[in-house]
Amino acid sequence: MKNNILRLIPICLFALCILTETALAISIEIGSSDGGGRTSLQSTFILDPSANVMQDISISGGTISSNLEASGSGSNRISQSLSGNDYCLNNNIKSQGTLSVSSTTSAEAQSASLSQDVTGKGDVAVNLAGNHYATSAGQESSVAKGTLSSQQSIYAGECAYSTQSTVIKGQSGKVTSGALGENNVVVAESSFSGDGSLVANLGSAASKYAYFGGSAKLDETTILNAESFNSVSPNSNNQIMGTSGLRMLGDESTLGSFSTSVLNMGLTGEKGASTSSKVATTAKGGSYTSYKLTGFRWNKKDPKVQLYLNPANTPSGLSAYTTQQAITLAANAWDNAVSSNLFADGTTVKIDSKKVVDDPFSARPKRDGYSVHGWKKFSNCFVAYNRWWSNGAKVGGYYSLTESDTWYNLNYQWTTSMSVAQSTRKVDLISVSLHELGHSIGLDDIYSSKYGGTLSPKDPRTNDYDQVMNLYNGPQRTLGNGDKYGVQKLYGK
């Protein structure tokens, strides 16, 4: 349709229904212009034969409105785009399974809004993004082998803002909320692997500054809340906070994982990227390329990170001394693999009951400059938990770590005896500490998603169980070749 034709018709209704035996790809583009500028809407449907979709579009006085209803199963992708004088809104949905979408859009030359309800089963991913001049806001949510229900909205006009209320249950899932302002960028993300349930209510907005907020719960445990966002508020310097941990699943024979991060950076900072490598060769100790980096490290020649142990609540069968020695052995294993002096000489782990061991899921996460290990009783899903902080400074391509704390769950039985760990269901403290300290210096998990990890089962790194950063399938107190090569990439051979 030409714009001059549209101007002759005050209201134009457009309805499309599809139910065919073969998959279809259909694109619809409509534009309108008046004295205030030009507005356009584009819809693209790539549909499985089982899908059906109806879109009603009305055009009046330079405003385009649309109502979309779509449902089906199989492989489907639905995309919508709205644009005007100085903005653009994009909505992308992908599905491998059942899908139901209901959305309402309204666009004029100066602004546009979109709200939608999305439900799906199987593999579902939803992405919303809005831009206005140099500012933007967006939301993402996805699930693998599970269910997703999400109510989302986005607006672009005098500013950009977006919200989502999402419930995910499945083998793995992720929610992301972010915004780009004129002076800063903010991003919040929570994800899990291994059967779990994630509930998130998130929002982001941007004009001169970018803001975000909301909450998220994993298996009914709060992992994001107001204080998480306040910890990296625009009033502070560049800050990044991340957490990761192990989760015990089902019959306690399988481990899963989770991670959360919140970032607030001035626009002079750069967005970090994880570094990874594929497996090339195998040897005793596994492949030298079985590792994954987080994009963070201690950016000093010899960090000499001083570790602390708060002995409060040390479990039966252990003492403050045996716990101290276990963590020291784990720290020395990493130290011995590199040319840098990663951890403090002398007393690598100082016992200090005054050092703060806050609740790992506290509403007020504690950042005090000390890297503290301690015992806490928290959700049975989590075996251990590591939280790290960064000031956002980037050196040599890596963001600078400034603090890393580790908690061990009192709801499990622990041991420092190799024979006990091998013959009972007690968890080996040295092995778990070795893994968590790997996170604290910049190494990521290489689990297969089949066992609750983040990598595809087809990734050859996931089959290399000689690596400490892979699945805990029994006590392992020595680094694999991939563990060593990864840490040497960060801190030198």
Tens digit of each residue's pLDDT (9 = 90 or more) over 147-202: 999 999 999 888 889 999 999 999 899 999 999 988 888 999 999 888 899 999 99
Domain ranges of the chain: 3-218, 276-491
- Furthest-apart CA atoms within the chain: distance in Å: 85
Better-predicted residue by pLDDT, 52 or 404: 404
Q: For residue 351, how far is the Cα from the chain centroid?
A: 33
Give tens-digit pLDDT for 433-485: 999 999 999 998 887 666 555 677 778 887 888 888 887 777 889 998 899 99
pLDDT over 90, % of the chain: 41
Closest CA to 422 of 431, 409, 434: 431
Q: What is the mean pLDDT of residues 70-97?
A: 87
**Alpha helices of 277-365 — where are they, by DSSP H?**
320-335
How many angstroms separate the CA atoms of 307 and 331, rounded? 9
* Identity of the residue numbered 47: L
How many angstroms separate the CA atoms of 113 and 124, rounded? 23
How many angstroms separate the CA atoms of 127 and 152, rounded? 10
Instruction: Confirm whether pTM is higher than 0.85.
Output: no
Are 65 and 90 in contact by the 8 Å Cβ rule? The answer is: no
Q: What is the mean pLDDT of residues 267-279?
A: 43
Q: What is the mean pLDDT of residues 198-221?
A: 91
Residue 409, pLDDT above cutoff 70? yes
* Residue 73 pLDDT: 86
Structure tokens at 384: 């251990």
How many angstroms separate the CA atoms of 25 and 370, rounded? 56
Q: Within 10 Å of residue 165's Cβ, how many Cβ atoms?
A: 18
**Alpha helices of 151-245 — where are they, by DSSP H?**
226-230
* Residue 329 pLDDT: 95
Band of pLDDT at residue 5, cut at 50, 70 and 90: very low
* Residue 4 pLDDT: 24
**For the structural domain made of 276-491, what CATH number should be given?**
3.40.390.10
Q: If you search the block for the tokens 């979109």, which residue do you land on? A: 114
Band of pLDDT at residue 102, cut at 50, 70 and 90: very high
Residue 381, pLDDT above cutoff 80? no
Q: What is the mean pLDDT of residues 282-304?
A: 84
Q: What is the mean pLDDT of residues 25-36?
A: 73
Band of pLDDT at residue 373, cut at 50, 70 and 90: very high
* H or E element at residue 72: strand 63-72
Structure tokens at 63: 């405003």
Residue 249, pLDDT above cutoff 80? no
Better-predicted residue by pLDDT, 254 or 358: 358
Cβ neighbours of residue 339 under 8 Å, at least 6 residues apart?
488, 491, 492, 493
Band of pLDDT at residue 18, cut at 50, 70 and 90: very low
Are 262 and 228 in contact by the 8 Å Cβ rule? The answer is: yes
Q: If you search the block for the tokens 């990227």, which residue do you land on? A: 273
- Report the mean per-residue pLDDT for the chain: 83
